[in-house]
Amino acid sequence: MLPEVYFLRYSFPCARVLVDVRKTITEKEWEKLKQAAETDTPLDRAYLERIFPVAIQRIMKINPDPWTVETIREYFWNRHEEAISKDLPPMIKRLCVVKKGKLVKQIGDVFRADLGDGDIRYVHALYPTAKAGDSAMIHYGYAVEKV
Amino acid sequence: MCMAIPGKIIKIEDDEATIEYPGEQRTAKIVEGEFSIGDYVFVSAQIIVQKLSEEEALASLKEWENAA
């Protein structure tokens, strides 16, 4: 998979924060990210670096070349939580952590996901092969990757 | 559409909830389960992802207002 596509699958789910809280991107830019994330359309790296500067900077602390799937995975699986800014609302701080969950049941094009500890969410899947029974990494309101 | 802040359910009609946010209202689909008027929820891609505790919702809204 292209690193740009992999990165966007993980970063798009909480991009809403950039519109509603940080106000660094517009509604139109968010729609463009959504369209690309849902269709696995690769976006230009320089564009992604401009939209997600904080994430990219933190990924570069792991590897000066942020554009490898392994490095992006390491960030979102293991380092994203510490990067979630302390001044964000509690709901965002909690939901923004990338966690493993089980896709318990498919209801239309949505899945009931169980992340444990009473954390049940209804999520859309960003990976096309998603099916009930999968273990998947869940970010915010999306199932991002089967694991 | 989703909002990075909690919304409050103000109306339910079948599986469609009307959700109130500061300055606007939006609709979202109830996928499963029971919800009530007054529930605080998190919405993403036009579905209700999760019901939030009132405590978490109000603290989040306050934090959001402080950031504005």
Regarding whether A82 and A106 lie in a shared domain, the answer is no
Put simply, the answer to whether B42 touches A21 (Cβ < 8 Å) is no
- Say whether both A64 and A119 belong to one domain: no
- Both A43 and A60 in one domain: the answer is yes
Instruction: Say if residue A87 is in the same domain as residue A103.
Output: no
Phi-psi region of A100 (alpha: psi -120 to 50; beta: other; left: phi over 0): beta
Q: Determine the structural domain holding residue A70 and report its residue range.
A: 3-94
C-alpha B5 chain-centroid distance: 8
Examine the domain organization and report whether A44 and A32 are in the same domain: yes
Percentage of chain B beyond pLDDT 70 is 96
Residue window 17-46, chain B: list those with CB within 8 Å of chain A. 31-32, 42, 44-45
Q: B2 falls in which pLDDT band (50, 70, 90)?
A: low
Q: What is the mean pLDDT of residues B2-28?
A: 92
Confidence at residue B26, expressed as pLDDT on a 0 to 100 scale? 95
Indicate the average pLDDT of chain B: 92
Residue A87 shares a structural domain with residue A112:
no
Residues A31 and A52 in one domain: yes
Q: Are residues A77 and A44 in the same domain?
A: yes
Inform me whether the C-beta atom of residue B58 falls under 8 Å from chain A C-beta atoms.
no
Q: Number of folded domains in chain A?
A: 2
pLDDT of residue A118: 95
Residues A70-122: tens digit of each pLDDT = 999 999 999 998 888 777 888 888 998 999 999 999 999 999 999 999 999 99
A111 and A41, same structural domain?
A: no
Looking at the structure, tell me whether residues A88 and A74 fall in a common domain: yes
Same domain, A13 and A68: yes
A34 with A53, same domain: the answer is yes
Contact between A122 and B48 using a beta-carbon 8 Å cutoff: yes
Structural domains of chain B, with CATH = 7-67 (2.30.30.140)
- Residue A59, Cβ neighbours under 10 Å: how many? 26
Instruction: DSSP for A31-58, please give it.
Output: HHHHHHHHHTPPPPHHHHHHHSHHHHHH
CATH at residue A142: 2.30.30.140
pLDDT band at B1 (very low <50, low <70, confident <90, very high): very low
